[in-house]
Amino acid sequence: MIMTPKLNVADATVYAEELSNFLGTQSELMRGEEVIRRAHARVTAQKPDLAFQPVALTVNVLPKTTIFVLRAIGDNPQYAQAFLQACMDEFVLLKKEMKTGLSDTMVASLMEEMLRKEKELAKCDEELVAFQSTNKMVITQETGNNAAT
């Protein structure tokens, strides 16, 4: 399974650190409880003829790459193969769900900020109108005083 990090970092040392974090995070997600649970459920739903089997999943990263090597070992080879495919499918699905959740959170945050800025803008508009009306009076009075002299 190949994962490509989408990083936009100018400094190469920062990029290397981010890549290391990325690979570790992805590896942990792949073998995490959520992916494992969902993979077993997927196999059960898609292949009801295969009885549940415990499967040992290992995830390794090929050195100097973003290629993940996943291995599933179990007593039933058909179940292990179906489970491995289900793990990859569920991992990709989980990543999409996480992205969507992040996008939703970001949109909500931006909407809150926009509402705050709209309130600030309305307040500034009110202050501007008040300032202009006060200064028109002063200008009118000064014009009247100048005309009287």
What DSSP line would sit under 15-32, residue for residue? HHHHHHHHHHHHHHHHTS
Phi, psi of 74 (to 5 degrees): -155, 175
Query: Domain-by-domain residue ranges, the chain?
Result: 12-148
Q: What is the pLDDT of residue 106?
A: 73
The per-residue pLDDT of the chain, averaged, comes to 82
Q: What is the pLDDT of residue 66?
A: 86
Model pTM above 0.75 = no
Mean pLDDT to the nearest integer, 61-70: 90
Q: What is the pLDDT of residue 91?
A: 94
Q: What is the pLDDT of residue 116?
A: 87
Give the tens place of pLDDT for each residue, 84-99.
Answer: 999 999 999 998 888 8
> Range with the lowest mean pLDDT among 46-55, 65-74, 103-112, 135-144?
135-144
Q: Which two tokens stand for residue 6?
A: 């989408």
User: How far, in Å, CA of 108 to CA of 101, rounded?
Assistant: 11
Mean pLDDT to the nearest integer, 64-86: 94
Cβ(59)–Cβ(31) under 8 Å? yes
- Sequence-distant (≥ 6) Cβ neighbours of residue 9 within 8 angstroms: 15, 18
**Beta-carbon-side half-sphere exposure of residue 21 (alpha carbons within 13 Å):** 8
Mean pLDDT to the nearest integer, 129-142: 73
Residues facing 68 on adjacent strands = 61
Give the tens place of pLDDT for each residue, 12-60.
Answer: 444 454 666 888 889 999 999 999 999 999 999 999 999 999 999 999 9
Q: How far is CA 132 from CA 120, 121, 147, in A?
A: 18, 16, 22
User: How far, in Å, CA of 88 to CA of 82, rounded?
Assistant: 10
For the chain, give the percent of residues with pLDDT over 90.
Answer: 45
Cβ(82)–Cβ(50) under 8 Å? yes
Q: What is the pLDDT of residue 145?
A: 62
Sign of CA dihedral 132, 133, 136, 138: negative
Higher-pLDDT residue of 131, 4:
131
